[in-house]
Amino acid sequence: MSDIASIAQGVRDGAVDPLEPATEAVSRLHDHNEGPSGLNAFLAALSTEDVAALESVASGGRLSGVPVAVKDNMATVGFPTTCGSKILEGYQAPYEATVVRRLREEGAVIVGKTNLDEFAMGSSTENSAYGPVRNPCDPLRVPGGSSGGSAAAVASGIVPGALGSDTGGSVRQPASFCGVVGMKPTYGRVSRYGLVAFASSLDQVGMFGATVADATELLQTVAGHDPRDSTSVDRPVPDFSEERDIGAEGLEVGVPSEYFGDALEPGVKAACQRALDLLEANGARIREVSLPNTAYALSAYYVIATAEASSNLARFDGVRYGLRDSSGEDLGEMYERTRTAGFGREDKKRKIIGTFAETAG
């Protein structure tokens, strides 16, 4: 599989049929994803017949013909948007997320929606209502989460790039587990319109690539102000590729002492040290720094994230969309039965914690 820029250039030059990369990706997807030993990285996907039926792609776009996967908590037309939850099983969004629209406008072919921890709550992609995702590097291990499906889709070579969402590490951590590049942009750089909210003040669309260049291409495509998102920053989008290949010479790298304590697994510590040694050998300056508030970070995250989740997920009550269990005697019982059947254990736990945090005063 070629890199994103090469695929798009081949299509723009007429050397590659615009639908060929997507056809090949869909074939790989069905080979790797399904069956008892499959990755289970996708919850919905195109077939080769679906690709053949596409009228056209933007042959002059930045991502012309590039097959891309999208995490299933972003609204898409043509695929269900389930958030990995039974409460949204089969739900068809009436509009598309801004990031998905921008991908399509630049010629990308969305080949499928990827599996995730339910409503992005988890760190292993074992909490999906549709089963766990397997790590392509070792099927007996988890791919990380909550964007484990997107990470696995790139790591297995199904697609060269994918979108995920990151609230507290949900792109960066699975990228690490699967051995691919993952990044969470600065909050406000990429529109959240159409991203189903977990914790609104922390959620951000992120990207996976087989290489830094691939991740850069996706960021360049989806970044920019969006008037539909009140948290979107109205600033020019720079050419990120200009700083992609500057190297490590003169770079100053801080190593937080709080991150390298006794609790750090020795293998992880050794891998980090190898990376630091490589940076130093290529001209970077390594120095120890202190981030004294680190001790409070996890506690602060769990108060903010769960409280916002409790508020955001209150809308899934069986009244407007998704699952409805109306076998009870009144409205309150309908709420209770619907949410009991529709949400998984991890989501229920986090909403209970968040509801307590909001009312503890």
* Phi, psi at 135, each rounded to 5°: -80, 125
Number of domains within the chain: 2
Q: Are 257 and 168 members of one domain?
A: no
The C-alpha atoms of residue 70 and residue 195 are separated, in whole angstroms, by 11
Choosing from 124, 128, 146, 232, which is the catalytic residue? 146
The C-alpha atoms of residue 271 and residue 295 are separated, in whole angstroms, by 23
| 71 catalytic residue (yes or no) | yes
**Final residue before a domain boundary, out of 219, 243, 267:** 243
Q: Are 238 and 261 members of one domain?
A: no
Q: Are 213 and 314 members of one domain?
A: no
- Cβ distance 44 to 93 under 8 Å? no
- pLDDT value of position 37: 81
- pLDDT value of position 75: 98
The C-alpha atoms of residue 33 and residue 171 are separated, in whole angstroms, by 20
Q: Are 201 and 346 members of one domain?
A: no
Nearest to 75 by CA among 56, 59, 88: 88
- pLDDT value of position 1: 66
Q: Give me the CATH number covering residue 59.
A: 3.90.1300.10
Q: Residue 180: give the domain boundaries.
A: 4-243
Alpha carbon separation from 83 to 43, 160, 196 (Å, rounded)? 10, 22, 8
| 86 catalytic residue (yes or no) | no
**Final residue before a domain boundary, out of 243, 276, 299:** 243
Any residues with CB less than 8 A from the CB of 27 and at least 6 apart, and which? 48
Q: Are 24 and 137 members of one domain?
A: yes
Any residues with CB less than 8 A from the CB of 111 and at least 6 apart, and which? 22, 25, 26, 29, 45, 46, 51, 67, 68, 69, 158, 159
* Phi, psi at 74, each rounded to 5°: -120, 130
pTM above 0.85, yes or no: yes
| 146 catalytic residue (yes or no) | yes
The C-alpha atoms of residue 242 and residue 169 are separated, in whole angstroms, by 26
- pLDDT value of position 36: 79
Structure tokens at 28: 């790989």
Q: Are 210 and 170 members of one domain?
A: yes
What is the DSSP annotation of 177-241?
Answer: HHTSEEE-PPTTSB--TTBPPSSTTT-EEEEEESSHHHHHHHHHHHBS--TT-TT----PPP-GG
Q: Are 191 and 260 members of one domain?
A: no
- Cβ distance 152 to 133 under 8 Å? yes
Q: Are 26 and 66 members of one domain?
A: yes
Q: Are 145 and 222 members of one domain?
A: yes
Q: Where are the alpha helices (DSSP H) in 69-171?
A: 98-105, 148-155
Which stretch of DSSP H or E encloses residue 255? strand 252-256
**Final residue before a domain boundary, out of 197, 212, 243:** 243
**SS3 at position 160:** coil
Question: Which amino acid belongs to residue 316?
Answer: F
pLDDT in tens, the chain (361 residues): 689 999 999 999 999 999 999 999 999 999 999 877 899 999 999 999 999 998 777 778 999 999 999 999 999 999 999 999 999 999 999 999 999 999 999 999 999 999 999 999 999 999 999 999 999 999 999 999 999 999 999 999 999 999 999 999 999 999 999 999 999 999 999 999 999 999 999 999 999 999 999 999 999 999 999 999 999 999 999 999 888 788 899 999 999 999 998 889 999 999 999 999 999 999 999 999 999 999 999 999 999 999 999 999 999 999 988 899 988 889 999 999 999 999 999 999 999 999 998 886 6
Q: Are 75 and 135 members of one domain?
A: yes
Q: Where are the alpha helices (DSSP H) in the chain?
A: 4-13, 20-33, 48-53, 98-105, 148-155, 172-178, 212-222, 266-281, 294-312, 331-342, 345-359
Choosing from 64, 128, 170, 191, which is the catalytic residue? 170
- pLDDT value of position 360: 67
- Cβ distance 313 to 347 under 8 Å? yes
- pLDDT value of position 199: 95
Q: Are 231 and 262 members of one domain?
A: no
Q: Are 84 and 212 members of one domain?
A: yes
